[in-house]
Amino acid sequence: MSFKNYILQPPVELIKEIGGLKNWKAMSDLKNLFFEIKEGKKFGIKLTNKNTNEYWISSTNNIQQREMTLKNILTKRDEWNGPWRDIFSNIEDDKILDDIEFQLIPDINLIDSKELFYQNFSTSIDLDKIKVSFMLLVWGYVLFRAQQSNYGYDKNIKTNKTELSKIRALVEDFFKPKKEERSLKLMNLVEEIDLLISP
């Protein structure tokens, strides 16, 4: 099983056997960091660029007020954060509100991991906290792979110390963005890890 599949379609029955609770706490921590979910926030709004299908998600308790605020900020490009610049900058000023779809998320805590790993996030948020949570997922995956090998699911799976060092180097490099990078996408790192460890 690839790291990407492990994250997007977790094998629940096997993960429970290797301490998966820490893994999914790490996933929850990532969601809270990415979407800046504050304690008590219940709803979300997903803004999607209709031309590219890239999106950004915001948490809120007052959907109507948050939507009005977001629409107001969208008309002021100089107030955009890194992900907004990356996701919406190809839209002309006079079409900005027409070419962005606003979609209600009825429970922000039920956002699936696909939303998390495919969303651009700002390099201005606490990247060290995200890195720690991401590494917990990586180590959970390494344990899962080792368990698969031990149980005979796939005898070809081996994660050696050299691979682990290379994975750590990939992660460290990813979370030290270049100056021109205003946003990052975790799925890019997930796919790099899969390329590195694929047999």
pLDDT in 10s for each residue of the chain, 199 residues: 888 888 887 766 555 554 455 566 677 777 777 666 666 788 889 999 999 888 888 888 999 999 999 999 999 999 887 788 888 989 999 999 999 999 998 988 777 777 778 877 777 778 888 898 888 888 888 877 777 666 544 445 555 677 888 999 999 999 987 777 777 889 999 999 999 887 6
- Flag whether 18 is in a domain: yes
- Flag whether 178 is in a domain: yes
- Flag whether 105 is in a domain: yes
Same domain, 55 and 106: yes
Same domain, 54 and 16: no
Same domain, 30 and 126: yes
- Flag whether 115 is in a domain: no
Lookup: tokens for 22: 């820490």
Integer Cα distance of 119 and 80 in angstroms:
16
Task: State the residue range of the domain holding 150.
Answer: 3-35+121-197
Q: Using the CB atoms, write b or e for 185-195: b if 16+ within 10 Å.
A: bbbebbebbee
- Flag whether 116 is in a domain: no
Same domain, 50 and 74: yes
| Boundary residue ending a domain (84, 110, 136) | 110
Same domain, 169 and 71: no
Structure confidence at residue 152 (pLDDT): 47
pTM of the model: 0.71
Residues in the chain: 199
Same domain, 28 and 126: yes
Structure confidence at residue 159 (pLDDT): 57
Q: Who's near 82: CB < 8 A, 6+ residues apart?
A: 120, 122, 123, 124, 181, 182, 183
Structure confidence at residue 113 (pLDDT): 73
Same domain, 19 and 64: no
**How many domains does the chain fold into?**
2
What are the backbone dihedrals phi and psi of residue 120, each rounded to the nearest 5 degrees, phi first?
Answer: -70, 140
Same domain, 18 and 58: no
- Flag whether 23 is in a domain: yes
- Flag whether 82 is in a domain: yes
Amino acid letter, 119: Q
109 CB burial (10 A radius; 0-12, 13-18, 19+): middle
For residue 122, the cross-strand partners are 183
Give how far Cα 192 sits from Cα of 2, 161, 165, 174, 185, Å. Answer: 11, 17, 14, 10, 12
